[in-house]
Chain A
Amino acid sequence: MSSAKVKRNIGIRNETALSRHERRHSVVRSIVVLAITLICAVPLWYIVINTFKTVGDMQTNPLGLPRQWTFANYQNAFENVPIVRSLVNTAIVTVFGVFFQVLVGALAAYGMILRKSFFTTFIGMILMVAFIIPGQSTLIPLYRMESQVGLVNTLEGLIVMYLGGAVFCYFLIVGYMRSLPFELIEAARIDGAGALRIFWKIILPLIRPILTTVIVFQTMGTWNDFMTANVFISSSDLKTIVLQVYNAVGQFTTDWPSFMTITVLALLPVFVFFIFCQKWIVSGLVAGSVKG
């Protein structure tokens, strides 16, 4: 990315030279924030650490380290549940779903700020309705619609359902675009750049923080979706990983070890993805000048 080399005037404060006063603050900050973080992380710790315990150990000692580390839960999960297959299915719907959601959302946001007219204001209002409809009430109409065109029980059909997330992307991106100086676009226009060219060359690099945020968030949402996949996917070959998590929930009892183990396996890829992406969220604009 060539823009990464550009030093911009907008961005977080210059942090290269910390005064002694500031350094002391930073130590206090570290202690306080990390303590709070760790307390808040207890539920996640609970899930992860218990996957290495036997059922008995888990009940008598829910929060401590395992008395004896066991990998039997993972072994069982891989033996009894088509984990890899489900992960692949999930990856396919997430990659395509999120790509199109974000693309459509970003294009719409750009179209919206390009021109303020009665028409765009009206569209803006209409799109808000998408946030208001309770999803559960439109499940049957949507299912019948996809059924008529033969898209139910296919990954393509699931991706189409996830395109609804484009409205969410649009909303976040347009909010961010509005906070950008509009003169940038005007100036590029004077230079005779076309609308699409401005979008690719100026807008996209500028909105990278929000774009990354939206991509990460939609990836999490799509990856973890239960409600849509549960209804639209009926073959076990096409199941996504979250459906496998719920497979451990029986009609009367829950198989806790496998529930938590598959949860961990399902979350691991998104965790890695987030670690990979997170520096882009804040460093998008200032990359090069400050290392996150």
Chain B
Amino acid sequence: MEQSAEIKMVARTKRESPSDINRFEEKRFKHRKRLRGLHEDLTSFWFLLPILAIFVVLFAVPLVQTLMFSFTDFNGYSMNMHSVGMANYQQVFSDPSILQGLLFTVIYAVLQTIFVTIIAIPLAVTLNKKFFGRNFARSMFFFFSVPSLAVLGMVWKYIFSPLKSGVVNSVLSVFGIGPLPWLSNSRLAQFCVIFIAVWAQIGWHATLYLAFLQSIPSDLYEQATVDGASSKQQFVHITLPQLVPGIVTSTFLLMSGGLKVYDLPYTLTKGGPGYSTYTVTQSIIQQGIGQSQYGVGSALAVLFTIATAIVVFAQMGVANTISRRFQ
């Protein structure tokens, strides 16, 4: 009870915030803030300490080790290794299959980011409105992303089988179409991988947007309704701009996750037909583990980490610029 009173108080303060009294108070804050600067740095540090510890142990140290491996002839079996200089990096660039893997990885990451985003936002807005069966629809959409992609890949393999008896082909045959060579044709196989990825992720990203929709102040809509704005106008002028933080988060996750994709193409097609759905991560694993060239695999991992960092930070930069325009 004590707390609810506190929130009420806080909320009231917020509503009155554009007033003159507040502007005066803000000045006082700034003064106090400067005084307490050091103290606050320390407080903030204490809150950040656990995650820093986790980051160092689970990410930084292994990454540094990978970097070290990339300059050696480490075979993944014996810790008795020798330095080979830049040889592993040279080999990465001389392997044509890696280039093909890179191509599909980029196509995959970009397309899944675009399609998931343009489907998940309207979906979230719809699921936020009231209609019969809403809870059921919400649960189902979210639930598509629950089974791991490794499990889903196995089931979809059945569904997209190029055989006449494949699930999709049986359905198509009712309409007199097909059978289509789903997983046998390079283009169609790429389509299948991306389609399944989008299918599996829209629910979760819609849920994410749904959570962000809750932070949009409802008075914005009330005002707009009073002003006679149509629901389409409301969507473009209120919902979308207000969702920008959510879009930044969601596309970042899609992009970074998409570039690292492994499970789905591997279980669905093992990278085939040929190299059409081959990914960079599959290449890292094959080099490092299958082929006992852990050094080469590590070199590829290092290069890929750097490349991904550039792409993702560029994306963040663009996203931040956009979100600043809206705020």
Q: Do A and B bind each other?
A: yes
A residues near B, CB below 8 A? Answer: 2-3, 5-6, 8-15, 18, 25-27, 29-30, 33-34, 37, 40-44, 46-47, 59, 62-63, 104-105, 107-108, 110-112, 114-115, 117, 119-120, 123, 126-138, 140-142, 145, 160-161, 163-164, 166-167, 170-172, 175-176, 178-181, 183-184, 186-188, 190-191, 195, 199, 201-202, 205, 209-210, 212-213, 216-217, 220, 224-227, 242, 245, 249, 254, 259-260, 263, 267, 270-271, 274-275, 278-279, 281-282, 284-286, 292
Q: Which of chain B's residues 193-208 have a Cβ closer than 8 Å to chain A? A: 199, 204, 207-208
**Pairwise interchain contact B43-A41, C-beta atoms closer than 8 A:** no
User: What are the 3 tightest A-B residue pairs by CB atom distance, in nearest-first order?
Assistant: A111-B47, A137-B301, A138-B62
Is B324 part of the contact surface with A, judged by Cβ < 8 Å?
no
Q: Which of chain B's residues 246-267 have a Cβ closer than 8 Å to chain A? A: 246, 248-249, 252-253, 256-257, 259-260, 262-263
Nearest Cβ on chain A to B97's Cβ, whole angstroms: 17
**Pairwise interchain contact B135-A278, C-beta atoms closer than 8 A:** yes
For B62, B170, B216, B280, the residue with the greatest tally of chain A CB atoms inside 10 Å of its CB is: B62
**Pairwise interchain contact A41-B262, C-beta atoms closer than 8 A:** no
Partner of A132, one of B4, B204, B248, B308: B308
A210 closest partner in B (C-beta): B211
Q: Which residues of A contact B129 (CB under 8 A)?
A: 25-26, 29
**Pairwise interchain contact A202-B63, C-beta atoms closer than 8 A:** no
Partner of A226, one of B15, B139, B148, B217: B148
Is B137 part of the contact surface with A, judged by Cβ < 8 Å?
yes
A-B contact pairs, 24 of them (CB 8 A): A2-B2, A2-B3, A9-B15, A10-B215, A26-B130, A46-B159, A110-B47, A132-B260, A135-B260, A136-B288, A136-B301, A138-B63, A141-B61, A142-B58, A163-B58, A166-B54, A167-B55, A175-B246, A187-B9, A202-B6, A259-B154, A274-B142, A278-B138, A279-B135
**Pairwise interchain contact B126-A278, C-beta atoms closer than 8 A:** no
**Pairwise interchain contact A37-B141, C-beta atoms closer than 8 A:** yes
Q: Which residues of B contact A217 (CB under 8 A)?
A: 204, 207
Q: Which residues of B contact A43 (CB under 8 A)?
A: 144, 152, 155-156, 159, 199
Q: Using an 8 Å CB-CB cutoff, how does the interface string of B107-138 with A read, 1 for contact, 0 for none? A: 00000000000000000001111111111111
B residues near A, CB below 8 A? Answer: 1-4, 6-11, 13-15, 17, 25, 29, 40-41, 43-48, 50-52, 54-55, 57-63, 65-66, 76, 126-148, 150-152, 154-156, 158-159, 165, 167, 170, 199, 204, 207-208, 210-219, 221-222, 245-246, 248-249, 252-253, 256-257, 259-260, 262-263, 280-281, 284-285, 288, 294, 297-298, 301, 304-305, 308-309, 312-313, 316
**Pairwise interchain contact B249-A107, C-beta atoms closer than 8 A:** no
Partner of A224, one of B131, B147, B308: B147
**Pairwise interchain contact A34-B133, C-beta atoms closer than 8 A:** yes
